[in-house]
Amino acid sequence: MKIMSINAGSSSLKFSLFNMDTNEVLVSGLFERIGIEGSCYTIKNSEFKIKQEATLNNHADAVRILLDKLIELKIINSLEEIDGIGHRIVHGGDKYTDSVVVSDQVIEDIIRFSDYAPLHNPAHAVCIKAFKEVLPNTPMTVVFDTAFHQTMSKDRYLYATPYEWYEKYQVRKYGAHGTSHRYVSKKVSEELGRDDLKIIVCHLGNGSSITAVKDGKCVDTSMGFTPLAGVVMGTRSGDIDVSLVPYVMEKEGKSVGEILEILNKKSGFLGISQLSSDSRDIEDAIKEGNEQAALAQKMFVNSVVKYIAQYYVEMGGCDVLAFTAGIGENS
Residues 56-110: tens digit of each pLDDT: 988 888 988 999 999 999 898 988 899 999 999 988 887 887 789 999 999 999 9
Burial grade of 283 (CB within 10 A; 0-12, 13-18, 19 or more): middle
Cβ contacts of residue 121 below 8 Å, gap of 6+? 89, 90, 91, 110, 111, 113, 114
Arithmetic mean of pLDDT, 204-228: 94
Give the torsion sign (CA, 118, 120, 121, 123).
positive
Mean pLDDT of 138-165: 94
With 90 as the cut, is the pLDDT of residue 47 above it? no
Q: Specify the DSSP element, H or E, that contains 249.
A: helix 244-252
pLDDT surpassing 90 at residue 119 = no
Q: State the number of CA atoms in the 13 A half-sphere of 228 facing the CB.
A: 21
* Given 61, 109, 145, 220, the catalytic residue: 145
Query: CB within 8 A of 294, min separation 6: which ones?
Result: 286
pTM, to two decimals:
0.76
Lowest mean pLDDT among 15-24, 38-47, 99-108, 113-122: 113-122
Q: What is the pLDDT of residues 156-192, one digit of tens each?
A: 999 999 999 999 988 999 998 888 999 999 999 999 9
Question: Which H/E stretch holds residue 330?
Answer: helix 325-330
E strands along the chain, which residues?
Answer: 2-8, 12-19, 24-32, 40-44, 49-53, 82-89, 100-101, 140-144, 198-204, 208-214, 217-221, 320-324
Per-residue pLDDT at 157: 96
The answer to whether 241 is a known catalytic residue is no
Q: How many CB atoms lie within 10 A of CB 228?
A: 24
Residue 192 half-sphere exposure, CB side, CA atoms within 13 Å? Answer: 17
Looking at every residue in the chain, the average pLDDT score rounds to: 92
DSSP single-letter state for residue 102: -
* Nearest one of 225, 209, 200 to 315, comparing CA atoms: 200
Which backbone phi and psi does 197 adopt, to 5 degrees?
A: -95, 150
